[in-house]
Homo-oligomer: A and B are copies of this chain.
Amino acid sequence: MAGDGKIEKVSIIISKGSLEGIYPGLIMANGARAEGMEANLFFTFFGLDAIHRDRYEHIKLATVGNPGLHLPTWLGSVPGVSAAMTRYMARKMDRLDIPPIAEFVEMIADTGAGLYACQASVDLFGFARDDFIGQVKDVITVGEFYDLAAGGQIVFT
């Protein structure tokens, strides 16, 4: 941060694996790049799904435990409802030119944002470097993340 001037850098942590848990971080990173700021994305815990080759095209909406959806819990837990709601949300996003998660992640990397996976989480889930999409720059520790984030804002999502 340069005094009261503009924000120069945002480092966004994505820790959740649901559709509504991943989008906010992506939208904030994309918005930062559009404004010419430096943007880093750090994927940790279930957030790793958003950069996992076999998973990032299959991210689902959480249809229980989210009163904001205005769905009764019994309905949210009926098999197929999560998939149906996810498709419904995807169609609405598409109309707003917000791409599906897989495409959006790649697009954000193309704008020059840095994508990083959290070392401890990669070990925890037993993932290997090859499980992630090529756009991921590196697997880094929390300490390395703090170094990357210095001089900017940290946003945990």
A59 to B34 alpha-carbon distance, docked (Å): 34
Q: Once bound together, how far apart are the Cα atoms of A47 and B66, in whole Å?
A: 11
The complex is assembled from copies of this chain, and their number is: 3
Chain A stretch 3-36: residues in CB contact (< 8 A) with chain B: 3-7, 10, 13, 15-21, 23-24, 27-28, 30-32, 34-35
- Report which of B35, B123, B146 forms a contact with A32, defined as CB distance below 8 A: B146
Q: Is the CB of A23 within 8 A of B45?
A: yes
Contact A28 B62 (CB under 8 A): no
Which listed residue (B7, B24, B61, B142) contacts A44, Cβ 8 A?
Answer: B24
Cα-based distance from A145 to B7 in the complex (angstroms): 11
How far is it, in angstroms, between the C-alpha of A19 and the C-alpha of B65 when the chains are bound? 11
Known pairs A4-B151, A17-B67, A31-B142. 8 more at Cβ < 8 A? A6-B146, A13-B24, A27-B120, A28-B142, A30-B142, A73-B79, A92-B124, A93-B124
Contact at A46–B68, with CB atoms within 8 Å?
yes
Given contacts A6-B150, A32-B146, contact A66 B79 (CB under 8 A): no
